[in-house]
Amino acid sequence: MKTILTGAAVALIALAGTAHADGHQKVADIHFLIPGGAGGGWDGTARGTGEALTEAGLVGSATYENMSGGGGGKAIAHLIETDDGGTMMVNSTPIVIRSLQGVFPQSFRDLTPVAGTIGDYATLVVNTDSDVQSLSDLVAIYQDDPTALAIGGGSVQGGMDHLVAALVMKNAGTDPAQIKYIPYDTGGPAMAALLSGEIQALSTGLGEAIELARQGEVRILCLTSPERVDAVADVPTCAEAGSEGTEFVNWRGFFAAPGIDADTLASYQAALEAMYDTDAWAEVRDRNGWVEIFNSGEDFTTFLEGQEEQISTLMRELGFL
């Protein structure tokens, strides 16, 4: 995690958006608050979204501010404290997880959720050489001897990849607390560990597994989507594969200050919604390999509440709460 810190510090200057004030402009200017350092995932999401919005003329100009610290908690506290309606903060699934873990005292309820914009489904994958052909094979090994199955992931114990693996196992009718979860600092080394045989299965995002699966290096056992995804049409959903009701999406989205007025909030949401149809967005999206999910306003809040419920139940069962 520390290694991806440096990134595009000068991009602050380089990417200062040039505005084409077209007729369809929704917002004059937006200030993006980024809870992590330059070059990370949050940074890329905020700057990419800002670039698309300004290029397409939906937003007059965009400015960016990196505020790392406290696993994102510093920026959350800052947004609540200043209560500035002109600011949008980028965040993602960890805001739910870290809030439950008590990394910071606030939660998404202390902010105004604007919209979820992009996302990725989670997967369980094994090496192609593995005897495990399906999720039920994996569950059988686990039930036989949990210590014989090391499942790796690119986050800490109790982090997202661990929770996803636990969710799949729990819904398959086993005790998720027995999982032997091996943490790696990012997805890359975790994938290397799977290919080297150090771990028997890997919990990761579809985006990180899809190409290696196409090239025949790994086998995707199941996908945490509600229905099958076209890009990997032969991969069953986890529910189909025997993990009843398993659904999970790792989202990224935006939050505004708690006291933002309804009109400004609506204009932000309108700008983000209109963004999906622009060429500028298509370019940014393809450059980064993002998957669109648009989840705005009330729907987004309901979704967050559901995810919080899902994760807190799991964390309690795993003994992290």
Partner 1 sequence: MIDGILIGLSTALSLQNLLFVMMGCLVGTFIGMLPGLGPMSAIALMIPIAATLDPAAGIILMAAVYYGAIFGGSTSSILINAPGVASTVATSFDGYPMARSGQAGKALAIAAYSSFSGGVIAAIFLLVAAPSLASVSLAFQSTDYFALMVLGLVAVAAFAGKGSMVKALLMTVVGLMLSTVGTDQTQGVARFTLGMIDLVDGISFLLLVMATFALSEALMAILRPKDDSARLEEKEASQKLGSMKVSREEVKEMVPVISRSSVLGFIVGVLPGAGATIASFLAYGTEQRIAGPKKGAEFGKGSVRGLSAPETANNAAATGSFVPLLTLGIPGSGTTAIMLGALIGYGIQPGPRLYLDQPDVFWSVIVSMWIGNIILLILNLPLIPYIARVLAIPSRFLLPLILFFSLIGVYFVSFNTFDIQLMVLFAIAAVGLRLLDFPMAPMILGFILGGMMEENLRRALLINDGSWSFLWERGLTLSILVIAALCLLAPPLVGWITKYRNRNTTDATPD
Interacting residues toward partner 1 by CB under 8 A: 1-12, 14-15, 37-39, 65-71, 73-74, 77, 101, 103-104, 147, 150, 156-159, 180-186, 188-189, 191-193, 195-199, 211-212, 214-217, 283, 286-289
Beta-carbon contacts of residue 279 (< 8 Å; ≥ 6 apart)? 56
Residue 68 or 143 with smaller CB distance to partner 1: 68
Which lies closer to partner 1 via its Cβ, residue 188 or residue 258? 188
The residue (of 91 and 243) whose beta carbon lies closer to partner 1 is: 91
Provide, rounded to whole angstroms, the least separation between the CB of residue 282 and partner 1: 13
As measured in angstroms, the least distance from the Cβ of 244 to partner 1 is 28
Minimum distance from CB of 109 to partner 1 (Å)? 20
Tokens of residue 135, six digits: 């999720």
Q: Which is nearer to partner 1, 201 or 239 (CB)?
A: 201
Torsion of CA 13, 86, 81, 89, to 10 degrees: -60
Name which of 196 and 233 has its Cβ closer to partner 1. Answer: 196
Smallest separation (angstroms) from partner 1 to the CB of 315: 11
Rounded to a whole number of angstroms, the minimum distance from the CB of residue 214 to partner 1 is 8
- CB within 8 Å of 122: residues ≥ 6 apart: 160, 161, 164, 203, 204, 205, 206, 223, 224, 248, 249, 250
Nearer to partner 1, 183 or 236 (CB): 183
Q: How far is the CB of 245 from partner 1 (least distance, A)?
A: 27
Smaller CB separation from partner 1, 34 or 265: 34
Task: Quote the CA–CA distance of 172 and 93 in Å, as a whole number.
Answer: 23
CB within 8 Å of 194: residues ≥ 6 apart: 125, 126, 127, 152, 201, 202, 218
Query: Taking the complex as a whole, how short is the minimal distance between the CB of residue 40 and partner 1, in angstroms?
Result: 10
Q: What residues form DSSP beta bridges with 219? A: 126
Length of the chain in terms of residues written: 321
